[in-house]
Homo-oligomer: A and B are copies of this chain.
Amino acid sequence: MRQVQTIADLRSAVQAARQRGQSVGLVPTMGYLHAGHLALVDAARRDNELVVVSIFVNPLQFGPREDFARYPRDLARDAALLQEHEVDLLFAPSVEEMYPRPLATFVEVPDLSQTLCGRSRPGHFRGVATVVSKLFHLVQPDRAYFGQKDGQQLAVIQRMVSDLNIPVEVVAVPTVREPDGLAMSSRNIYLSADDRRHATVLYRALQHAKALITDGERDGRRVAAEVAQRVAAEPGVRLDYAEVVDWETLQPADVLQGRVMVAVAAYVGQARLIDNLQLTVHADGRVTEH
C-alpha cells in the first residue's frame, strides 16, 4: 500500500492506474477505522482494480461546539489495517492540503440537510457534500462506498451525485454491528462501560420498529413514537430524535409505503450516536430490509 499526503501525489498515482486501464474504487473515511469501514474497503476491493481510501477528519462538517478537536485519530493503526485489507492507496491529507485558503464554494442539498441530524447539526451536511465532492473530483472513482449507518449522509450523497451528474456509482454497504447490535462507530470510543450497555437501546428500539412494521403497522408517526419512547426510557440516554421518513425526501412518512428509513439519534454519555433501519414496504405488504 502506498500512502500519500498531497493532492499532486494522489492525482498522479490514480492517473497512472487509469493509464493501465484499471477501475478505481474510493472509500472516504475520517479514520479511526472499525469493522464498518473495513466492510466498505472489502466491498471496494471486490469491485475495483485500484482501491483508494481517504482518511480526513473534515473540519467543515463539525459544528463549533462539536468534537472536531477530540475526534479519535490513529493513522498508524489505520494504515496497518488498510494494508491487511489490500488497499492500494491511502490518501491522508492535512487540513491545509484540502483547504489551502478559506473555502468560498459549497455544495448543498438543503431539503435533505435540514431534517433529522441536520436540525441539531446545522452546516454538517453542507460540509459532508462539499468535501465528498472534492474527493470525487480528486480521485474520479468509478465507484464510491458509503455505510448505511450514516443514512442521511448516504441520501445526501446519492442525491448530489444524481443532481450534479457526477460520474460515480455510489455503493451503499450495510451497517456492521457488535454482537449485541450496537452499530460500529468511531464515536463508540467515547462510551463508558455503563454507556456502552445503555447504547444498545438504539438497536433494540429499531428492531422493535421493524417488528411493528412487519406485523402490519403502517402509521409512521406511531412507529416513531414507540422508538422515541423506548430510547427516552433508557437510563443515561437522552433522545435527540426518532423518526420514520420517506427515503427520497427524508420527510416524515405518515403512511408507510415504498422505501423508508427509521432513524434515531441520542446522546449517550459523551457521545452522540445514530442508527437507522432502511426498509421497503412493498405494495403486497411484504417488508424487506436494505
Chain A residues within CB distance 8 Å of chain B: 7, 11, 103-112, 129-130, 133-134, 137-138, 140, 159-160, 163-167
Contacts and interface: CB of A to CB of B under 8 A. Distances in A.
Given A104-B111, A104-B112, A130-B164, 8 more contacts: A104-B109, A105-B108, A105-B164, A107-B164, A133-B164, A134-B163, A137-B164, A138-B165
Nearest to A112: B104
Contacts of A7: 165
A107 B129 CA distance: 10
B163 A103 contact: yes
B134 A104 contact: no
A160 B107 CA distance: 10
A164 B129 contact: no
Contacts of A11: 167
Nearest to A129: B105
25 contacts: A11-B167, A104-B111, A104-B159, A104-B163, A105-B107, A105-B109, A105-B159, A105-B163, A106-B107, A106-B108, A106-B109, A106-B110, A107-B107, A130-B164, A133-B164, A134-B163, A134-B164, A134-B165, A137-B164, A137-B165, A137-B166, A137-B167, A138-B165, A140-B140, A140-B167
Contacts of A112: 104
Contacts of A129: 105
Contacts of A133: 164
Contacts of A137: 164-167
Contacts of A103: 163
Contacts of A166: 137
A115 to B, nearest CB: 12
A61 to B, nearest CB: 15
Nearest to A160: B105
A109 B108 CA distance: 11
Contacts of A108: 105-108
A265 to B, nearest CB: 22
Nearest to A135: B165
Contacts of A138: 165
Contact of A104 (B110, B165, B167): B110
Contacts of A110: 104, 106
A284 B164 CA distance: 45
Nearest to A105: B163
| For the complex of A and B, 5 pairs with smallest distance between CB atoms | A105-B163, A137-B165, A105-B160, A105-B109, A134-B165
A59 to B, nearest CB: 15
Nearest to A126: B108
